[in-house]
Amino acid sequence: MPDFDLELSEDGDVNPLHGSAAAAVLLMLFNEDEAAQILSRLEPDEVRQLGYAMYDVADVEIEEVNQALDQFVNKARRRTTIGYGATRHIRGAMHKALGAERADNMLARITPPTRSTKLAMLKWMEAGEIAACIETEHPQVMAIVLAHLDPSIAADVLSMLPAHCQEDVVYRVATLGPVSNEALDELEVMLTSGTPTTKKGSTSQRGGTSEAAAIMNNVRKDMEQRIMKALTKRDKIIGQTIEEEMFIFDNLIDMDEKNMGALLRGIDTELMVVALKGANEMLKAKMLSCMSQRAAQSIVDEMEERGPMRLADVVEAQKKIVAEARRLAEQGTIMLGAGGDDFV
């Protein structure tokens, strides 16, 4: 349980509450219905953290409550309300300006898509609960559920599913196409009550090799190797694509200086110039620091002289460097990752 003990200043006064403790004090000033409306808009982890904090600050003094209120008011003054109720405001203005029919046609073209809330109840379930619900279902059902989870939770659920179907589930995540809202509605009801229902609707897109790669990046190393071996044997292209997306150019920042230096010694300067043009600043700085000062300065000068580069060229150069890193890792020449946590 998180510790929200109040801190004392040097003169013995209670320091102002911050973070979850201050939020908990504010929440407890509302009645149950009002507090419930606020909690319903939060993520499960936020609700859990606030719950802990509400118990810890249940006996705060009036001065501490006032301090929490002051913090809230000061922060509120620095924020605008332009985003609150924006959809309703825009819709109303459009209807008045264009008329209902023309406004609806316009809004249909310009309104950004809303994030799907299908299977949102999964966020409130533990990995073990989810695994227990789907362990006897068809692998396609397992894949759909995993594709709607955070990758780290999906990896935990995958590890609890029968070993003989794990590779099949990952393959289905990687090749998952659009899933109808009708199917998602039936699945949601099945997970909560076991009784299917039928509703018509559009489709929701989840899954793909990127999603499968994100899940595989969170499983144990031995499990990853077993699943990837079976998956590549089943479909070489899908297996290779997932492996490529499991380790991308940005992941090179996890290499230590010795291994980074060994990798860069075999990379052509021209390739480095193009690849680093699109690298984030932290990775760029680390890679340049693993070169000689003269070589690093030469690359920096060349990047400045070249000006803008085509994104496709940058991505291709980065892929070539990652491929070389993989080749050296497979040979045992370098290790990808920190502390000997190689990635092959």
91 found inside a domain: no
Greatest CA separation found in the chain?
69
DSSP codes of every residue in 173-221: HHT---EEHHHHHHHHHHHHTS--------EE----HHHHHHHHTTS-H
User: At residue 221, what is the residue type?
Assistant: K
Percent of the chain with pLDDT over 70: 81
User: What mean pLDDT is predicted for residues 219-224?
Assistant: 86
| pLDDT value at residue 112 | 58
SS3 content of the chain, % helix, strand, coil (to 5): 65, 0, 30
Same-domain status, 125 and 191: yes
Q: Dump the DSSP string for 60-73.
A: --HHHHHHHHHHHH
Q: Are both 228 and 124 inside the same structural domain?
A: yes
The verdict on residue 96 lying in a domain is: no
| pTM of the full structure | 0.50
Residues 221 and 124 in one domain: yes
Same-domain check for residues 208 and 283:
no
- Contact between 42 and 51 (Cβ < 8 Å): no
Position 188 confidence tier, pLDDT thresholds 50, 70, 90: confident
> Which pLDDT value is given to residue 162?
92
DSSP-assigned letter for residue 126: -
194: left (phi over 0), alpha (psi -120 to 50) or beta: left
pLDDT at 118: 56
d(CA 220, CA 152): 11
Lowest mean pLDDT among 1-10, 54-63, 115-124: 1-10
Q: Which two tokens stand for residue 244?
A: 């490529």
Asked if residue 8 is part of any domain, the answer here is no
Q: How far apart are CA 276 and CA 283, in angstroms?
A: 8
The dihedral over CA atoms of 226, 209, 149, 162, expressed in degrees to the nearest 10, equals -30
* CA atoms lying within 13 Å on the CB side of residue 194: 3
Pair 210, 242: CB distance under 8 Å: no
pLDDT at residue 208 in the model: 85
Domain boundary pick from 184, 206, 234: 234
How far apart are the two ends of the chain, measured CA to CA in Å?
38
Chain mean pLDDT for the chain: 78
Residues 204 and 301 in one domain: no
Averaging pLDDT over each range in 94-98, 222-226, 330-334, which range is the top one?
A: 222-226
With residue 250 as reference, give the H or E element that holds it: none
Number of domains within the chain: 3
21 versus 267: the higher-pLDDT residue is 267
The token duo for 11 is: 């003169």
Together in a domain, 187 and 229: yes
Distance, CA of 81 to CA of 275 (rounded, Å): 42
Band (pLDDT 50/70/90 cuts) for residue 16 is: low
128 and 164 co-located in one domain? yes
Range(s) of the domain holding residue 142? 120-234
Number of residues in the chain: 344
Residue 313 sits in a domain of what CATH number?
1.10.220.30
Q: What average pLDDT does range 44-62 have in this prediction?
A: 76
Residue 203 lies in a domain: yes
264: Cβ contacts below 8 Å, ≥ 6 apart: 272, 287, 290, 291
Q: Which of 234, 269, 297 is the last residue of a domain?
A: 234
Residue 157, C-beta contacts closer than 8 angstroms, at least 6 positions apart: 127, 130, 131, 134, 145, 146, 149
Query: What is d(CA 339, CA 344) in angstroms, rounded to the nearest whole number?
Result: 15
According to DSSP, the residues that pair with 14 across neighbouring strands are 8
Query: In this structure, are 199 and 259 located in the same domain?
Result: no
Contacts of 91 (CB under 8 A, 6+ apart): 103, 107
Instruction: Report the distance separating Cα 184 and Cα 120, nearest Å.
Output: 11
Which range (84-88, 94-98, 250-254) has the least confidence? 84-88
State yes or no: pLDDT of 196 exceeds 50.
Answer: no
Nearest C-alpha neighbor of 344 from the set 211, 215, 228: 228
The confidence score (pLDDT) of residue 337 equals 63
φ, ψ dihedrals at 335, nearest 5°: -120, 135
Question: CA angle, 7 as apex, 3 and 9 as ends, to 5°?
Answer: 170
Mean pLDDT of 48-68: 76
pLDDT at 76: 66
Confidence of residue 85 (pLDDT cuts 50, 70, 90): low
- The Cα 44–Cα 47 span in angstroms is 5
Residue 11 domain-assigned (yes or no): no
